[in-house]
């Protein structure tokens, strides 16, 4: 069986660990968001790719959910001693080696998908049927507008990482834009993986800054809509709050309520120009299932807490069994 997962960082990585536990023998291709990417200190940083790599390669710091276990911060302290910004972004000594390797390989002219293949070769060597692909080989950067009376038009655009990490998503996000997305193409291997898939899963990652950008890469949405594989989406909002992270700070900026059913409607049913064949919500949101079904979106309701890869595997298997006319 060939499975494709669309995913972001921390929640997406936990979800993929569950997919692997549910289908240990499947060919598993993860299409990872790269719209969070940023250049700092001259280094290209791909947070979601790295979080996915370290999590699946068992090198992640489990408390933070990003960066390396057993990390030290000596280079960061030295950079701060030189007065070099940004001091608010935690680049650990071990993690820096990944960014140095990536930046060097990109500078040599390799596309990000090939750079990612080389970086992940080390981490995922014991699972040769697991492939991580960036959504695109082109550069996309997400920016968030916040109110600023001193700025032109009363709003200032910040890089997503500055909004998320330095400001901890505290000021209201007035708008989101993704610089460069219209000119991107799916990375090498992305369209092929979608076309060959037996099953496509949308992780319970942030709908605005993780799944949103993947679906906006020209060609990906159409490939999902016109492909043969069923598409199953999982809600990351449980009982009106994100299970992980701060999606509730960004959904209002795209006019979507912080509610699992609203996110399901936002992705939409494949029969009505959306991407989903099945939307999976937590039991806390069971009351909205009938309304969605009446609107033509198939829904499954189950516990969606990712407490361990096995617990995640269980709800994934349950959801896949609920696919209309599922042979999987
Ligand atoms: N998240 C933080 O909250 N603080 C950090 O200092 C930080 C540094 C960092 C460095 C490398 C990396 O790959 C990820 C890092 N993250 C950090 C996580 C990350 O920036 C965000 O949580 C995601 O981009 C949102 O998906």
Average pLDDT over residues 139-156: 95
Please state which of the ranges 40-44, 175-179, 292-296, 323-327 shows the lowest mean pLDDT: 323-327
Q: CB within 6 Å of ligand 1 — which residues?
A: 8-9, 36, 45, 47-48, 50-51, 66-67, 89-91, 95, 161, 164-165
Whole-number Å distance between alpha carbons of 314 and 128: 23
Among 49, 90, 213, which is best to mutate for testing ligand 1, by the most ligand atoms less than 8 A from CB?
90
133 Cα–ligand 1 center, Å:
19
Mark 282-302 as b/e (b = at least 16 C-beta within 10 Å). Answer: bebbeebbeebeeeebbbbbb
Which of the listed residues 11, 75, 165 should we mutate to test ligand 1's pocket, taking the one with most ligand atoms within 8 A of CB?
165
CA-to-CA distance for 159 and 205, rounded, in angstroms?
19
Provide the pLDDT for residue 328: 66
- What is the whole-number distance in angstroms between the Cα of residue 53 and the centre of ligand 1? 14
pLDDT band at 292 (very low <50, low <70, confident <90, very high): very high
Give 86 Cα–ligand 1 centroid separation in angstroms.
13
DSSP state of 281: E
State the Cα–Cα distance between residues 324 and 319, nearest whole angstrom: 10
Which residue shows structure tokens 């994934």? 316
Which residue, among 131, 168, 306, 176, has the nearest Cα to 235 in the 3D structure?
306
Tell me, in angstroms, the distance from the centre of ligand 1 to residue 10's CA.
9
Which atom belonging to ligand 1 lies closest to the Cα atom of 8? Answer: 26
Interval 196-255: pLDDT, tens: 999 999 999 999 999 999 999 999 999 999 999 999 999 999 999 888 888 889 999 999
Cα(189) to centroid(ligand 1), Å:
26
Q: Percent of the chain beyond pLDDT 70?
A: 99
Residue 8 Cα distances to 13, 16, 121, 145, 265, angstroms: 7, 10, 20, 21, 20
Q: How far apart are CA 48 and CA 55, in angstroms?
A: 10
Residues contacting residue 13 through CB under 8 Å, at least 6 positions apart: 7, 51, 52, 55, 56, 60
> What is the arithmetic mean of pLDDT over 43-48?
98
* Overall pTM surpassing 0.95 (yes/no): yes
Cα of 91 from ligand 1 centre, angstroms: 9
Residue 42: how many other CB atoms lie within 10 Å: 8
Determine the atom of ligand 1 nearest the C-alpha atom of 168.
Answer: 3
pLDDT of 327 strictly over 60: no
Ligand 1 atom, smallest distance to 210 CA:
26
Q: Residue 244 has what pLDDT?
A: 81
The confidence score (pLDDT) of residue 246 equals 86
Q: Are strands 199-202 and 2-7 parallel, antiparallel or unpaired?
A: parallel
pLDDT recorded at residue 91: 97
Q: How many angstroms is it from 66 CA to the middle of ligand 1?
A: 6
Which pLDDT band, with edges at 50, 70 and 90, does 310 fall under? very high
DSSP-based three-state secondary structure for 2: strand
CB-based contacts of 38, cutoff 8 Å, min separation 6: 45, 47, 141, 159, 160, 161
Banded model confidence at residue 326, pLDDT cuts 50, 70, 90: low
């Amino acid at each position: 069986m060939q499975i494709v997962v669309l995913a972001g960082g921390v929640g997406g990585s936990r979800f993929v660990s569950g997919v692997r536990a549910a289908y240990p023998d499947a060919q598993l291709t993860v299409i990872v968001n790269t719209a969070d990417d940023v250049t700092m200190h001259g280094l290209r940083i791909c947070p979601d790719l790295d979080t996915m790599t370290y999590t699946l390669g068992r090198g992640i710091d489990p408390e933070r959910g990003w960066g390396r276990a057993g990390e030290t911060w000596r280079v960061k302290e030295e950079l701060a001693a030189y007065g070099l910004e940004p001091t608010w972004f935690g680049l650990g000594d071990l993690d820096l080696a990944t960014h140095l390797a990536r930046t060097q390989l990109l500078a040599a002219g390799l596309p990000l998908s090939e750079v990612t293949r080389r970086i992940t070769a080390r981490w995922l060597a014991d699972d040769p049927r697991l492939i991580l692909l960036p959504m695109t080989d082109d550069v996309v950067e997400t920016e968030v507008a916040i109110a600023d009376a001193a700025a032109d038009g009363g709003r200032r655009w910040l890089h997503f990482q500055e909004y998320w990490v330095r400001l901890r998503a505290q000021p209201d996000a007035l708008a989101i834009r993704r610089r460069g997305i219209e000119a991107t193409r799916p990375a090498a291997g992305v369209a092929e993986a979608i076309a060959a898939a037996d099953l496509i899963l949308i992780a319970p990652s942030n709908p605005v800054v993780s799944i949103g950008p993947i679906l906006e890469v020209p060609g990906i949405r159409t490939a999902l809509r016109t492909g043969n594989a069923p598409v199953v989406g999982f809600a990351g909002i449980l009982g009106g709050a994100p299970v992980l992270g701060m999606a509730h700070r960004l959904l209002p900026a795209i006019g979507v309520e912080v509610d699992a059913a609203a996110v399901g409607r936002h992705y939409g049913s494949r029969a009505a120009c959306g991407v989903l064949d099945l939307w999976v919500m937590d039991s806390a949101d069971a009351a909205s299932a009938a309304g969605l079904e009446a609107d033509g979106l198939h829904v499954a309701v189950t516990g969606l807490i990712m407490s361990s890869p096995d617990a995640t595997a269980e709800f994934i298997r349950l959801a896949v069994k609920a696919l209309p006319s599922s042979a999987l």
